């Protein structure tokens, strides 16, 4: 898929009068379990999709970034010497944010022409924006001759999103886009950034169902959840030694000090603390081939996100309920920030096609809309794309 996009992009770049470009790709992601834990220094279990964002890039002799994207629609120019660049509230912020952060880190960038394409659905919670940041980072570093490793790239892209775009996201999406391993999910410790690649047995298929709901309240609610988690950690740090984030709190400690927290904040914390435990247990279950247990933990994750963290919505709940009624389904839950986007389902490989049809049909009968449903096998992390011409 990506290779076809890259070939097409290279051809368009040349037709537009550009020099032979370098090509890079960065994937979107799914997350098996570990939701709203990354910014609490906790654990996540994401995997890269085969879908992603591709960029064709060639250096310029001036300090302009000229960016063009069919997927994100439009052309824009950005002067790297412009004083105090500000976000514009569109897709170009992800490109410009990465450029701004690279320069803030002391690098001097060369101007560049960037042509961008993507086969990721936008705003579906599959990290199209993180993949755009990562692919931009690779492209700009390459044309400016800057050496950067995968983890440093992930952190700088997260910083671009936090400091420039203005979303206080954690590191999960950028990290897995940079570091994913083919056929595996990554058990990532979001504090130390240590990770372990865990093979996903092809007998258990990951299926994504898209509600097609793109809620605009999501960003405000996301930042609010983050503040509530930080408030809980700060209160608990007053009575417990060694607590800097909810990652450091056990379920027993949380229950013991529940009276110190407002009821809503307590439930937010209960989600995070229990989700960290579920994520570690799910990684062990996946490793030992216990798909039933992994699915059970995914189901419990959904309940916790719906009832304690309150980031689900009717369409997500509908897809999850529909999925769980079908044969061969180990587990189903909402995925990502919430309030729309996609569910992730762990399904027996043999029934995955039937599952996809049946779940889409149930959703269509209830809502009138047919949701995109697709199987995914974990792909590799971001990198250069070499076309046949490049190999010659």
Contacting residues toward ligand GLA, per CB under 6 A: 35-36, 38-39, 169-170, 172-173, 336-337
Residue closer to ligand GLA (CB basis): 203 or 244: 244
Cβ(211)–Cβ(313) under 8 Å?
yes
Least separation in angstroms between residue 288's CB and ligand GLA is 25
Least spacing, CB of residue 349 vs ligand GLA, in Å: 26
How far are the Cα atoms of 32, 123, 198, 299, 323 from residue 361, in angstroms, in the given order? 24, 23, 33, 21, 11
Q: Which residues are CB-neighbours of 117 under 8 A, at least 6 positions away?
A: 5, 8, 9, 53, 54, 55, 69, 70, 71
CA 192 to CA 156: how far, in whole Å?
Answer: 16
Annotate 2-39 with DSSP letters as a single string.
HHHHHHHHHHHHHHTTPPPPEEEEEEEEEESS--S-GG
In whole angstroms, give the CA distance from residue 237 to residue 246.
9
Residue 49: which of 127, 132, 115, 155 has the closest Cα?
Answer: 127
Q: Which residue lies nearer to ligand GLA by CB, 27 or 337?
A: 337
3-class state of residue 286 by DSSP: helix
Within the chain, residue ranges assigned H as helices are 2-15, 92-104, 128-143, 150-159, 172-179, 218-237, 251-256, 263-287, 291-307, 314-324, 352-367, 388-391
The catalytic residues are 173
Nearer to ligand GLA, 168 or 296 (CB): 168
CA distance 241 to 198: 33
- Residue 41 or residue 173: which is nearer to ligand GLA going by CB? 173
- Shortest gap between Cβ of 190 and ligand GLA (angstroms)? 9
Shortest separation between residue 337's beta carbon and ligand GLA, angstroms: 4
Residue with Cβ nearer ligand GLA (169 or 261): 169
Q: Which residues sit opposite 54 in a β-bridge?
A: 25, 117
> What minimum distance in Å lies between the beta carbon of 301 and ligand GLA?
10
> Shortest approach of ligand GLA to residue 336 CB, angstroms?
5
Burial of 296 (0-12, 13-18, 19+ CB in 10 A): middle
Q: Whose Cβ is closer to ligand GLA: residue 10's or residue 334's?
A: 334
Q: Label the pairing between strands 112-118 and 64-69.
A: parallel
């Amino acid at each position: 898929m990506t290779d076809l996009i890259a070939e097409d992009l290279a051809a368009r770049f040349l037709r537009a009068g550009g020099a032979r470009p370098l090509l890079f790709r960065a994937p979107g992601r799914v997350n098996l379990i570990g939701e709203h834990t990354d910014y609490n220094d906790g654990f996540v279990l994401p995997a890269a999709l085969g879908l992603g964002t591709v960029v064709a890039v060639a250096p310029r002799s001036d300090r302009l970034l000229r960016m063009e994207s069919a997927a994100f629609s439009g052309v824009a120019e950005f002067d790297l010497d412009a004083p105090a660049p500000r976000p514009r509230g569109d897709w170009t912020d992800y490109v410009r944010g990465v450029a701004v952060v690279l320069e803030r880190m002391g690098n001097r960038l060369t101007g560049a022409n960037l042509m961008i394409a993507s086969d990721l659905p936008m705003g579906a919670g599959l990290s199209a924006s993180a993949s755009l940041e990562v692919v931009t980072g690779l492209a700009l570093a390459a044309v400016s001759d800057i050496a950067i490793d995968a983890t440093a790239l992930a952190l700088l892209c997260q910083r671009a999103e936090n400091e420039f775009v203005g979303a206080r996201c954690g590191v999960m999406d950028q990290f897995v886009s940079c570091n994913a391993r083919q056929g595996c999910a990554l058990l990532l410790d979001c504090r130390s950034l240590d990770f372990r690649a865990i093979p996903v047995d092809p007998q258990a298929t990951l299926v994504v169902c898209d509600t097609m709901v793109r809620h605009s309240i999501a960003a405000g609610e996301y930042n609010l959840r983050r503040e509530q988690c930080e408030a809980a950690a700060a209160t608990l740090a007053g009575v417990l030694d060694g607590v800097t984030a909810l990652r450091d709190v056990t379920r027993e400690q949380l229950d013991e000090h529940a009276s110190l927290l407002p009821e809503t904040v307590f439930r937010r914390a209960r989600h995070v603390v229990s989700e960290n435990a579920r994520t570690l247990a799910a990684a062990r279950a996946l490793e030992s081939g216990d798909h039933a247990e992994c699915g059970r933990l995914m189901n419990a994750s959904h309940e916790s996100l719906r009832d304690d963290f309150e980031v689900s919505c009717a369409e997500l709940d509908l897809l999850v309920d529909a999925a769980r009624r079908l044969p061969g389904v180990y587990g189903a839950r909402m995925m990502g920030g919430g309030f729309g986007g996609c569910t992730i389902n762990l399904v027996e490989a043999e029934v995955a096609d039937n599952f996809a049809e049946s779940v889409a049909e149930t959703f269509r009968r209830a809502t009138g809309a047919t949701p995109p449903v697709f199987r995914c096998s974990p792909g590799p992390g971001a990198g250069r794309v070499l076309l046949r011409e490049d190999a010659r």
